[in-house]
Chains A and B, each alone.
Chain A
Amino acid sequence: MHNILDTPVTTDDAPANVPQHNAASAGSRAWRLIVRFNTVLILIVLLVAASYVSPDFMTSANMANVARQVVTVGIMSMGMLLVVLTGGIDLSVGSVAALASVVTAMLIPEYGLPGAIACGLFAGVLCGLVSGSLVAHYQLSPFVVTLAMMTVARGAALIISKGAPTMVDDSGQALLDFGRDSWWIMPEPTVLMLAVFALGAVFLAYTRAGRIVRAIGSNEEAVRLSGVPVRRHLILAYLVSGLLAAGAGIISVGRAGVGSPTVSTGDELTVIAAVVIGGASLAGGRGTVLNTLVGVITLGVIGNIMNLASVPGYHQQVVMGVIIIIAILAQRGTRARA
């Protein structure tokens, strides 16, 4: 029951002479480290548990397998993080990936591989541009706008492909090789994903636009009243999300050898889960690239363990949901005590 007195009060008074952390004892310093790296800790616990559950887990073949599997969700998560940082959400990433995969696979015979990839990426940018513009200029809810974009992009993919997967022909061989080959021990798509995350980290930490994207999610009005052009940075976040979703779709073409209008169905939810497990706040302003990557790997590892342990598919979904909640509660617990 609500009560006027239960509402926590914050006033100007207290913080002035009350430091947030008192002189750090060893215990509180250790605790702060735990809080800071809680997502990493959760992952480590999982890895240890996984190696107990199945002896196959720690083999290099399995590791490479996991690394390959998380690529599409991973790349989409980087884009999603930008949008989530602004306080928005992008439900269209899975559909945009499918659209890009279809566009690319179908255009390879006509334009050659580079041209087709460019067209696929352009389709993603276009979707992001439309979503971002609607959010920025008409103050529409990101949820609703990208929900609409989700069905539009999926529908477009189905229309263009007439509902059937498109085989990649010989001129697209380089893309297939990319999907299959490894660079040293790391699958090439995984290398690309890590590069995307590295770029994302640099963008957020060392560029003006990255800082503005983060600030918008914390207090859009204060940013606007500082004379910062908010709209174009909002649009930028959705645009990059669309671009990366398209990139993920094209990589899935390389891996599967077909452009499919039904690929990545439901992936938007996995992507959001990864970002949230990575500690980002859906209210905006909070979230880091490293933790998002950890969130992606965490989800990938959970799925992999269950496959190794031969958990049936339907059961996996239930287990996955439960684990997501547990991971988030564990984080919340550590943060609240800080």
Chain B
Amino acid sequence: MTAFLSLQGVSKHFGGVYALRGVDFDVRAGEVHALVGENGAGKSTMMKIIAGNHQPDAGQLRQDGAPVRFRSPREALAQGVALIHQETALVPELSVAENVLLSQLPGILRRRAMQARAADLIRSLGFDIDPAARVATLSAAQRQVVEIAKALSLNVRLLVLDEPTAALAPSDAARLLTIVRGLRDRGVAVVYISHRLDEVFQIADRITVLKDGAVVDTLPPSALTMDSLIRLMVGRPLAALFPRREGVAIGPVILEVENLGRRGAVAGASLQVRSGEVVGLGGLIGSGRSELLRLIFGADRRDTGKVLVDGVDVTPRNPAAAVRAKIGLVPEDRKHQGAVLSMPIRINATMARLPDVSTWYGALRLAHEKRTVASLIAQLRIKARDMQVDVSTLSGGNQQKVVLAKWFHAEGKVILLDEPTRGVDVGAKVEIYQLINTLAARGMAVLVVSSDHNELIGLCDRILVMGAGRIRGELAPDRFSEENIVSMSLGMAIKAPQADAFTENHHA
């Protein structure tokens, strides 16, 4: 069976650096071909070549066996090749129907016909979205569906999906996978890129692993396990992902949260975190975890409750007050909330403790700052040419380390981490876990939100599970499992532990 599209010996370099070297890859009609690899492995470059954003320096593309060139995304699209990017390219103020048919709008809009066509396309995906609704009012999952419908309206034969579930709740992600299967069964070729390896196992017919711009192997999922796949990606096994902390003494309670609440987000949450302790906040997306962190940090206005650090009521009214009270936050959205991307590492790294790098009358102590940042860069092993480069030029993992560096510099007592490894490759994840452990070892109280349940299980001393805006209960290590986190978040009973152990709310 010939491939719908194949890459043969494709290389691409930017400046002196090879992003891809001699890559062979093909995807057949009616197949889901997953592409995995660490950030920087070349996935992006490869998909941009497939979609016509980049042209290969060497090697060629073949479509149905014949050589082709895509000089632009438009040409690729004309040949039935469409790319759907993780951040959707929809126009929020237009209707669903207008978005779906955006690239083929007639000069005069016949609203009814357009809406019927869009509704048909969306229904063929097994979804029901009002075609007259404005896109701005849709959920992330619905937007993905609209995006796919838009591609289908153009009779796409190859769909490249880049992290389509990154912003979706698990239930929506599952529905999206169903859609992808449906497309495959209709004979569409699908290239599926995801950091979520469990998804890849569920959906892929074949998996190609990229590392350092070259193909490591292409295998069916049946020939792989999670462990062996990760080893192919990074060259180390899964268990090594979570460095165990040795000899970290758990000390007195540092952070106390009492009945903290905000209407419509968090209902009266109470918790405690001790010195040296890493506590997880688990639960499904939308269960109020990020919202709780933001309330503790004073980033949103609270309706009830208070926050204590070392037994003193510090309830912050704004982030500045939180930082004064020795609380730090690594926010969920690195690009918009975590780092000032267009500014250098040096300026980002000292942002949370500017008084340290300036005099009492406000003059910057640049020499002192340079020394400070140099030692932070060494300590956090941030890979960058020097501290003057803009954060935007760094990889996701190094960007996140710069955000962490800020709180290393601030030397607080409490650190709140919201999805600390989102969009970070596996290698950098391990380093970030080590950094989190370092903070705990220094006696800080650490509270982590993550949608990656394995991450919480590997990292935390205990896990608080949230559902519908409240803390539903607590899991001790002997009850750690993805199932228990999800069940508890949904308010269902959890499985009893093997041995006799205790949880706060549930007694077997």
- Asked if A pairs with B, the answer is yes
| Inter-chain contact B364/A11, CB cutoff 8 Å | no
Are A15 and B395 in touch, CB under 8 angstroms?
A: yes
On whether the beta carbons of B17 and A222 are closer than 8 Å, the reply is: no
Residues on B with beta carbons closer than 8 Å to the beta carbon of A209: 362
Closest to B16 in A: A22
Contact of B82 among A5, A16, A214, A223 (CB under 8 A): A5
Indicate if A221 sits at the interface (CB-CB under 8 A): yes
Do A227 and B324 touch (CB < 8 A)?
yes
Tell whether A16 pairs with B15 under 8 Å between CB atoms, given A7-B85, A207-B363, A208-B358: no
Q: Are B323 and A227 in contact (CB under 8 A)?
A: yes
Stretch at the interface among B198-206, B340-348, B470-478: B340-348
Which residues of chain A come closer than 8 Å to B17, judged between CB atoms? 17-19, 22
Please state if B103 and A3 are interface contacts (CB–CB under 8 Å).
Answer: yes
B394–A227 contact, CB under 8 A? no
Q: Complex: how many Å from CA A227 to CA B297? A: 9
Chain A window 272-304, contacts with chain B (Cβ cutoff 8 Å), 1 for yes, 0 for no: 000000000000011000000000000000000
Is A108 located at the chain interface by the 8 A CB criterion? no
B354 in the interface (beta carbon within 8 A):
yes
B44 touches A3 (CB 8 A): no
Q: Do B342 and A285 touch across chains, with their CB atoms under 8 A apart? A: yes
Q: Which residues of the other chain, B, contact A221 by a CB distance below 8 angstroms?
A: 336-337
- Tell me the smallest distance from the CB of B388 to a CB of chain A, in Å: 12
- Residues on B with C-beta less than 8 A from A207 are 358, 362-364
Given contacts A13-B39, A226-B351, contact A6 B73 (CB under 8 A): yes
Please indicate the chain B residues that have their CB under 8 angstroms from the CB of A5 in the complex: 51-53, 73-74, 76-77, 82-83
Please report the C-alpha to C-alpha distance between residue A21 and residue B102 in the assembled complex, in whole angstroms. Answer: 37
B137 within 8 A of A: no
Q: A15 and B323 in contact (CB under 8 A), knowing A22-B16, A215-B351, A218-B340?
A: no
* A23:B320 contact, CB within 8 angstroms: no
Q: Are A2 and B39 in contact (CB under 8 A)?
A: no
On chain B, the residues within 8 Å of A14 by CB distance are: 14, 19, 40, 44-45
**In which size bucket is the chain B interface?**
35 or more
Q: State in angstroms the CA–CA spacing of A3 and B42 once bound together.
A: 24
Whether the pair B366, A22 counts as a contact (CB closer than 8 A) is no
Within 8 A of B (CB), among A221-272: 221-229
Which A residues lie within 8 Å of B398 (CB)?
Answer: 16
- Tell whether B162 is near chain A: CB-to-CB under 8 Å: yes
Interface residues of A in 182-213 (CB under 8 A from B): 206-209, 211-212
Contact A225 B52 (CB under 8 A): no
Task: With both chains docked as a complex, state the minimum distance between the C-beta of B324 and any C-beta of chain A, in angstroms.
Answer: 7
Q: Are A212 and B354 in contact (CB under 8 A)?
A: yes
Q: Which residue of A lies closest to B48 (CB)?
A: A9
- Which chain B residues in 2-29 approach chain A with CB under 8 Å? 14-17, 19
Give the nearest-CB partner of A215 in chain B.
B340
* Chain B 373-416: CB-based contact to A (< 8 A → 1; otherwise 0): 00000000000010001001111101100000010001000000
Enumerate A10-59 residues with CB–CB distance to B below 8 Å: 11-23
B183 within 8 A of A: no
Q: Give Cα A309 to B365, complex, Å.
A: 51
> Cβ of B337: which chain A residues have Cβ within 8 Å of it?
221-222, 225
Bound together, the chains give a CA A91 to CA B208 distance in angstroms of 57
Residue of A nearest to B13 (CB): A18
| B-chain residues with CB within 8 Å of residue A208 when the two chains form the complex | 354-355, 357-358, 362-364
CA distance A227 to B40 in the complex (A): 32
- In the assembled complex, the Cα of A38 lies from the Cα of B45 at a distance in Å of 32
Which chain B residues border A11 with CB–CB below 8 Å? 44, 85-86, 162
> How far in angstroms is the closest Cβ of chain B from A251?
27
Beta-carbon contacts of B38-66 to A below 8 Å, as 1s and 0s?
01111111001001110000000000000
B323 A211 Cβ-Cβ under 8 A: no
CA distance A4 to B410 in the complex (A): 42
Residues of chain B within 8 A of A317, CB atoms compared: none
Partner of A21, one of B15, B73, B362: B15
B364 nearest CB neighbor, chain A only: A206
**A336 contacts B by Cβ under 8 Å:** no
Cα(A223)–Cα(B341), bound, Å: 11
Residues of A within 8 Å of B14, CB to CB, are: 14, 18-19, 22
Across the interface, do A13 and B41 meet the contact criterion of CB distance under 8 Å? yes
CA distance A9 to B49 in the complex (A): 12
Interface membership of A334, Cβ < 8 A: no
Knowing A18-B15, A208-B354, A227-B324 are in contact, say whether A12-B39 is a contact too (CB < 8 A).
Answer: yes
Q: Across the interface, do A3 and B352 meet the contact criterion of CB distance under 8 Å?
A: no
Assembled-state Cα–Cα distance A22/B15 (Å): 5
C-alpha gap A285/B323 in the complex (Å): 24
Query: Is B189 part of the binding interface, using a Cβ–Cβ cutoff of 8 Å?
Result: no
Which of A4, A23, A224 is in CB contact (< 8 Å) with B150?
A4
Complex interface: chain B residues within 8 A of A227 (CB): 319-320, 322-324, 328, 352, 410
- In chain A, what residue has the closest Cβ to B147? A4
Please tell me if the beta carbons of A223 and B103 are within 8 angstroms of each other in the complex: no
0/1 per residue, B113-146, Cβ < 8 Å to A? 0000000000000000000000000000000000
Q: Give the docked Cα–Cα distance between A228 and B318 (Å).
A: 10
Q: Is the CB of A9 within 8 A of B44?
A: yes
Residue A307, interface by CB 8 Å: no
B396 contacts A211, CB within 8 Å?
A: no
Write 8 A-B pairs (CB below 8 A) sorted by A numbering. Answer: A5-B51, A5-B76, A9-B53, A17-B40, A19-B16, A221-B336, A228-B351, A229-B318
Please give 12 more A-B residue pairs, beta carbons under 8 A apart, in addition to A215-B343, A215-B347: A9-B85, A14-B40, A15-B393, A16-B394, A16-B395, A19-B15, A208-B362, A215-B351, A218-B340, A219-B342, A227-B322, A227-B352
- Residues of A in contact with B (beta carbons under 8 Å apart): 1-9, 11-23, 206-209, 211-212, 214-215, 218-219, 221-229, 285-286
